[in-house]
Amino acid sequence: TGTISSLQRQMEIQESEVRRIRFEKELLQKQLRERDIQLQVVCNKFCSLTEEQRQEEAVGMMEEQNHNFYQVVTEQESQLAEQNKLISELQGTISQLQAEVVSTRLNLLKEKQAQREIQSQVEALQHKELQSRVALDLISSKFERYRNKIIQATFSVEGSQDPQAELTDDEVLEAMQRIINERMEFQQMLKNKGSR
């Protein structure tokens, strides 16, 4: 946004410069018209003289006026050419600044679009995280119930003593393994007695 404001300020300055130069150009053209009027006045003045005086006066005045007029015209044409060149350069600069403004705005739009996409992805990830937490809580709850059932089944066997404190997973596994080993030994004993 700061870049766009800066570019727009530069464009306004350049456009102001173009207006100033055009004003000067119109002023020069006005001066040329005034010179034409002065020349016409001189011509009218000659008309009131005698033919011979008119011719002599005309030759001298015309030579002087032509010389002055030529210098003014040459100078003003040079100034106009310079101003036209400057106007052309300023218009080129304005076009370039306008292109930069458009480019900057497009970049800003792309950045905003990228931010919206990232925000959407963040929201999707947050939703997935929430779902995962809910699923984890559910699994943890099921696991705890399953663990309690295992503990209950393990220590409900005849001859087992109820645990005095909270059991670790290793202690539960040891108790289960002990029961399994005892049952396997008992089955083996039954097989051995049956074979006899």
Domain boundary among 83, 110, 137: 110
| 81 and 151 share one domain | no
Mean pLDDT, residues 143-159 taken together? 78
Q: What tokens does 2 get?
A: 């700061």
Residue 115 lies in a domain: no
Place of tokens 């409900």: 156
Query: pLDDT (tens digit, 9 = 90+) per residue, 51-75?
Result: 666 577 767 777 887 788 788 888 8
Q: Domain count of the chain? A: 2
Handedness of CA 44, 46, 47, 49 (dihedral sign): positive
| 1 and 81 share one domain | yes
Q: What is the pLDDT of residue 68?
A: 84
| 152 and 181 share one domain | yes
Residue with the bigger pLDDT between 110 and 148: it is 110
Q: What tokens does 40 get?
A: 């016409």
| 7 and 101 share one domain | yes
Provide the domain limits for residue 3.
1-110
| 37 and 133 share one domain | no
Residue with the bigger pLDDT between 136 and 2: it is 136
Closest listed residue to residue 118, CA positions, set 110, 172, 72, 153 = 110
Residue 153 lies in a domain: yes
Residue 117 lies in a domain: no
Closest listed residue to residue 158, CA positions, set 181, 179, 187, 177 = 179
DSSP 156: T
Contacts 24+ apart (CB under 8 A), 179-186: 179/154
| 161 and 88 share one domain | no
